[in-house]
Chains A and B, each alone.
Chain A
Amino acid sequence: MTTVSVSHFTFTYQHRDQPVLKDVNLTFPDGKISIIAGPSGTGKSTLLKSIAGLYPEFANGDYTGAITIGNQNIKQIPATDFSGLISMMFQNPNQQFTMTNVYDEIQFALENRQLDPAIIPERIDDALKFVNITKLKHRDLAALSGGEKQKVALAIIIAMDSDIILLDEPFASLDRQSRADLLHQLTRLRDQKQKTIILVDHDLSGYEKVVDTFFYLAPGQYQIKQLTPKEVAALLVPFDNAELKAVSFPLPNAGDAADLVLDHCELKQNDTTLLTANQFKFLNNKVTLITGENGIGKSTLFKALTRLFKYQGVITYQQKDIQKIKKKKYLSHVALVFQDAEMQFVNITVEEELALSMQNAVHNHYSKDEINAMLKALQIDGREKQVVYTLSEGQKKKLQIIEMLIMGTDILLMDEPFKGLDINSLATVVEMLRTASQKFGQTIIIISHQLSGLETLFDYHIQFKNRQLAYKEQLL
Chain B
Amino acid sequence: MNAAIKLFMVIVIGVEISFIQSVPLNLCILAVSCCYLLIKRVSIKSLLYLIIYPIIPATGLLVSQLFYGIQGPIIGWVLFTRLFAYVWLGATFTMTTNIKDLAFTLEQNFRLPSKFAYGVLTAFNLVPRIITEVQTIRHASLMRGVTMQLWSPKLYFKAILAAINWSSDLSQAMISHGFVEDAPRTHVEKTTIRWSDFAIFAFWLILVQVPIFVF
- Which residues of A line the B interface, CB within 8 A? 49, 52-54, 58, 79-80, 82-83, 87-88, 90, 94-100, 104-105, 107-117, 120-121, 142, 156, 160, 306, 308, 327-328, 331-332, 335-336, 338, 342-346, 348, 356-357, 359-362, 389, 403-404, 407, 409
Contacts and interface: CB of A to CB of B under 8 A. Distances in A.
Interface residues of B, number: 45
Contacts of B175: 53-54
A156 B177 contact: yes
B134 to A, nearest CB: 12
A207 B198 CA distance: 62
B108 to A, nearest CB: 11
B121 to A, nearest CB: 8
A336 B178 contact: no
B188 A95 contact: no
A121 B142 CA distance: 46
A105 B177 contact: yes
Contact of B177 (A83, A121, A142, A389): A83
B63 to A, nearest CB: 38
Q: Of B143, B162, B176, which is in contact with the most chain A CB atoms at under 10 Å from its CB?
A: B176
A87 B176 contact: yes
A343 B158 CA distance: 11
Contacts of B142: 327-328, 331
Contacts of A345: 140
B176 A114 contact: no
Given A54-B172, A112-B179, A114-B184, A343 B145 contact: no
Contacts of B40: none
Interface of B: 100, 118, 122, 125, 128-129, 132-133, 136-137, 139-147, 158, 161-162, 165-166, 168-181, 183-188, 190
Contact of B136 (A82, A94, A99, A343): A343
A344 B142 CA distance: 11
Given A90-B176, A142-B128, A107 B188 contact: yes
A23 B55 CA distance: 68
Given A97-B173, A331-B143, A356-B146, A80 B168 contact: no
A335 B139 CA distance: 10
A343 B129 CA distance: 11
Given A95-B173, A99-B125, A346 B137 contact: yes
B140 A338 contact: yes
Given A95-B173, A112-B179, A360-B144, A308 B188 contact: no
6 cross-chain pairs, A with B, having the tightest CB-CB distances, nearest first: A360-B145, A112-B178, A83-B178, A95-B169, A109-B177, A98-B122
A160 B188 contact: no
Contacts of B137: 346
Contacts of A97: 173
A233 B155 CA distance: 50
A15 B151 CA distance: 34
Nearest to A97: B173
Contacts of B100: 104
A120 B188 contact: yes
B140 A344 contact: yes
A110 B177 CA distance: 8
Contact of A111 (B141, B161, B171, B186): B186
A333 B174 CA distance: 41
B176 A52 contact: yes
Given A98-B177, A120-B188, 18 more contacts: A54-B175, A90-B173, A95-B172, A97-B173, A98-B173, A98-B174, A100-B125, A110-B178, A111-B186, A111-B188, A112-B177, A114-B184, A114-B186, A160-B177, A308-B139, A338-B136, A342-B165, A356-B146
A53 to B, nearest CB: 8
A407 B144 contact: yes
Contacts of B186: 110-111, 114-117
A343 B170 CA distance: 17
Contacts of A120: 188
Given A111-B188, A343-B140, A54 B147 contact: no
B158 to A, nearest CB: 7
Contacts of B176: 52, 54, 83, 87-88, 90, 96
A58 B147 CA distance: 34
Q: Of B139, B168, B188, which is in contact with the most chain A CB atoms at under 10 Å from its CB?
A: B188
A331 B140 CA distance: 9
Given A114-B184, A114-B185, A335 B177 contact: no
B178 A160 contact: yes
8 contacts: A96-B176, A112-B179, A120-B188, A142-B128, A327-B142, A328-B145, A346-B158, A362-B145
B130 to A, nearest CB: 11
A58 B171 contact: yes
Contact of A306 (B132, B139, B173): B139
A70 to B, nearest CB: 20
Contacts of B172: 49, 54, 58, 90, 95
